[in-house]
Amino acid sequence: MTTGDLFADLDGFVTLPRVAGLWLSPDGQRLVVGVSTLNHDRTRFVSALWEVDPAGEWPARRLTRSDEGEGGAAFTKDGDVLFVSARPRPDKKDSLALWRLPRTGEPELLAAPPGGVRGVVVAREAGTVVLGAPMLPSADSPEKDEELHRRRRDAAVKAILHDEFPVRYWDHDLGPARTRLLAGRPGDLRDLRDLTGHVGRAIHDDASWDITPDGRTIVTTWAVAEPGASQRATLVAIDVETGARRVLADDDHEYDQPRISPDGTLVAVVVRERPTAERIGDNWLAVVPVAGGTARRLENGDRWPHSAQWTPDGTALVFVADHRGHAPLWRITIATNEVTRLTETGAFSAPKIAPDGTIYALHSGVDHPPAPCRVTTDGQVQPLQGPGPAVQVPGTIEEVTAATAEGVPLRAWLALPDTDGPAPMLLWIHGGPIGSWNDWHWRWNPWVAVARGYAVLLPDPAISTGYGLDFIQRGWGQWGGTPYTDLMTITDAAVARANIDETRTAAMGGSYGGYMANWVAGHTDRFRAIVTHASLWHMDQMGSTTDGAYEWVREMTPEKAAEQSPHRFVDRVSTPMLVIHGDKDYRVPIGQALTLWWDLTSRNAGEHKFLYFPDEGHWIEQPGHVKVWYETVLAFLAHHLLGARWQPPEMLG
């Protein structure tokens, strides 16, 4: 059986290794990636660390192995691997702890704060280790924190007392433990020092930090409360010796992903302009002196940068930015703002740069999952020997183009099966809403459908990234407006092809894509079936119950939310709908699906279905549930597009 055959077999599909995360040693000689595979019981995905040869000569070898998995890697200045894991340890506790894996020998436990470990960084020259550790507010030492955690466990207390917003994030509750930054000496982390104390929301779940090569200064994002239950992300520097904190940047912008220059004098940061209801904000790179001073904007063009890394000489940054269905690597020279595109096709993530200037990254595309690669200084992309064979997809990928009535160019990917005759087609609408179909998706994988004879259209309508700020602005605050007409225009172009059967089409989407699927259901009957996952339905309810409500109101005024709400058109819905939602989805709360389901079944009798996951969040992640998700979706589509008898998965009774 080839890897391409596994897409027709869901039991095989979930066995495919999933590569995520890449780390490079300071000398550029060791390269490590994270790989998730099924555990022995096939009940969950477990991550492990694999070493990849940077020269591409020898096969990848597995470094770690445990039932709990390992991740969050970093390197010591001497090239040993640091990783985070809840693997068994002598104290028999199960929190995420920090371990060191020497070049030879067994892993050694370094630090085990009771609330766990995340975000490990190491000073390249001094070797100082900094990590994030959630601690309870009243804890004044790790020992006190451990005592308080034990008392809560023994009393079966899970209650959380809040005094500020937010209280939840994506799929988990916030608090009562909140992240602090701890630092320790290289080689001896038994006595980690608390550098921040309890600072509430400041070091939030998306916060990231870096440390100067000499180990003296940490630069981190820092959330600050604002009126209206809002917050802004500022940039601060923390003295590792004293814990003294000073502000580097604090204004109406948001700061993210700090990366300190090789000489320790500058920090590169992604700056996000605060959006308003009238205008989407721009994103750009800036450099800020670590000693303090004015942030200097880098004119990186009409692109939204992320994942920036310094070149070894400190004269330039390499970053990733979406561009017309791809996510290439780009280089910007600090002194001149000159931007060079380094790669052409595919999507790059987790870039790291060796001392000789070679870039290592994960390279993926709509038609191939992430795999480690080397990018030479002249832009040549060379695959490395990753953990497992290259994946072959069961079909081909093509591009579809069209233009709006105003002449705005539109494009989409079209995944096609290797079959004769016109194929039924699925319109898949991406989430975000700000995003692009340009890389691999395990949760919404088009090739599972292609293996069963469907064509899958993956369009980038208005509000998508990679086409300039004005293209995003076309859909800003008008979620059901221009994005909808763009989708119908590109769908018209796709079904006009001889290899597509216009009479057998369905529309599908998750998150914002689910919102749009709901909008489509109330505005056209051209599709035979609609699948809506984690979707928005009643916009005024959504605005005050989502985990990041303060971000919602920056775009959606009450008037816009009412105007753009799909629920207003429920009486027009005539297409069978499959509604899917997880109860632990805090980004799009379950109330959206419950209201949608009530509206459909009480007002609009039809062949609607509701697939409910009590213990999943915004994404469906457990392997058994992944299979059930695909099986239910495929059965629903086969019933309505292929004329098959409705047959739900056996596991659902």
Per-residue pLDDT tens over the stretch 414-469: 999 999 889 999 999 999 999 999 999 999 999 999 999 999 999 999 999 999 99
pLDDT tens digit sequence for 596-628: 999 999 986 779 999 999 999 999 999 999 999
395-643 adopts what CATH topology?
A: Rossmann fold (3.40.50)
Angle at 472 between CA 570 and CA 202, to 5 degrees: 95
Q: Which long-range contacts (CB under 8 A, 24 or more apart) does 379-385 make?
A: 379/342, 379/343, 381/343, 381/346, 382/56, 383/56, 384/31, 384/52, 384/53, 384/54, 384/56, 384/60, 384/360, 385/52, 385/53, 385/56, 385/57, 385/58, 385/59, 385/60
Q: How far apart are CA 352 and CA 354, in angstroms?
A: 7
Share of the chain above pLDDT 90, in %: 89
pLDDT tens digit sequence for 472-493: 999 999 999 999 999 999 999 9
123: tokens are 């000073």
Q: What are phi and psi of 313, to 5 degrees?
A: -85, 0
pTM attached to this predicted model: 0.95
- Residues linked to residue 34 through DSSP beta bridges, in sequence order: 49
All structural domains of the chain with their residue ranges: 395-643
pLDDT tens digit sequence for 355-408: 999 999 999 999 999 999 999 878 899 999 999 888 999 999 999 999 999 999
Mean pLDDT for all residues in the chain = 94
Q: Which residues of the chain are modeled with pLDDT < 50?
A: none
Q: How far apart are CA 298 and CA 337, in angstroms?
A: 6
Query: 97 with 84: CB under 8 angstroms?
Result: yes
Query: 442 with 521: CB under 8 angstroms?
Result: no
Helices 482-495 and 512-521 sit at what angle, rounded to 10 degrees?
Answer: 80
pLDDT tens digit sequence for 47-59: 999 999 999 999 9
- pLDDT value at position 284? 96
- pLDDT value at position 190? 76
**Maximum Cα interatomic distance, the chain, rounded to a whole number of Å:** 71
- pLDDT value at position 1? 53
Query: 428 with 417: CB under 8 angstroms?
Result: no
